[in-house]
Amino acid sequence: MRPDAAAKRDTFFAAIGSRSLLMGIVNVTPDSFSDGGRFVAPEAAIAQARAHVAASAAIIDVGAESTRPGYTPVSEAEELARLEPALTALIASVDVAVSIDTTKAGVARVALAAGAAVVNDQWGLQRDPAMAVVVAEGEAGLVIMHNRDDIDAAIDIMDDMRRFFDRSLALADRAGIPHHRIILDPGIGFGKSKAQNLAALHGIAALRGYGLPVLVGVSRKSLFAALIGATDVADRLIGTLAANLAAAARGAAIFRVHDCAENRAALTVFDAIERA
């Protein structure tokens, strides 16, 4: 890993636990559910990343393939074509770590060479067999997200998450990925019913038993349409804030969000109360 990226990586991981941290989302996609098409142009992506950092984001998460419900998968070549025009300049434009949101080892390898410091894998090393080696060789941090191909409302989602994380952590261990550079994500909105999403959020405290930081990504999710009737994405901020505060109370450390300023204000109040 490049020395500048390694320094940003280490600064990010060292800050975990000192306060609630924000991961600012930058989607360079034409079809993301919340902001598809808004940040495809490199200038727009860079401006959004800078705005997140100005609002106290500790890390920027860049993704070039939508994973919204009903999304159309793209090839590695297409994902890189979307990503590469902005990535190097974006990384150079911010003084915090940048993570690459991808399930493809080839995309992760290119992003790490460009200066990304963390791989945010929505399949937790279990979709692309080469991903664990790429993360290990790149000395990257890793977000392991729980995922399922299909929703099965009959299963105990916490048991399923434990089995998934056990497999992913075994893959990470075999590849030589250091334990202290791993973050767990319960994968809210991925392969779960409404009840299972709520159970996953409620069960965050149990996930802390792994001794690893927990990241939560509920920002603007369709869960809030089901809970509070917020069918318009623009109306889901208050639901996002409520869910993130509930997650913080259960031990979540990092929050992947679109609206950094508002989440920073809410979590600053939460942190002040917790420290009082």
> Active-site residues: which are they?
221, 256
Q: Which of 225, 244, 250 is nearest to 236 (CA)?
A: 225
The one-letter amino acid at 103: T
User: What is the rounded CA–CA span in Å between residue 158 and residue 82?
Assistant: 35
- Widest Cα–Cα separation across the chain: 51
Q: 187-221 burial string, b = 16+ CB within 10 Å, else e?
A: bbbbbbeeebbbbbbebbeebbebebbbbbbbbbb
Q: Which residue reads 């705005």 in tokens? A: 51
By three-state DSSP, how is residue 144 classified? strand
**What tokens were used for 216?**
């939560």
Q: Where are the beta strands (DSSP E) in 197-243?
A: 215-216
**What tokens were used for 264?**
């920073």
User: What is the rounded CA–CA span in Å between residue 139 and residue 105?
Assistant: 14
Long-range contacts of 156-162 (CB under 8 A, 24+ apart): 157/192, 157/196, 157/199, 157/200, 157/203, 158/199, 158/200, 158/203, 158/206, 161/186, 161/187, 161/200, 161/203, 161/207
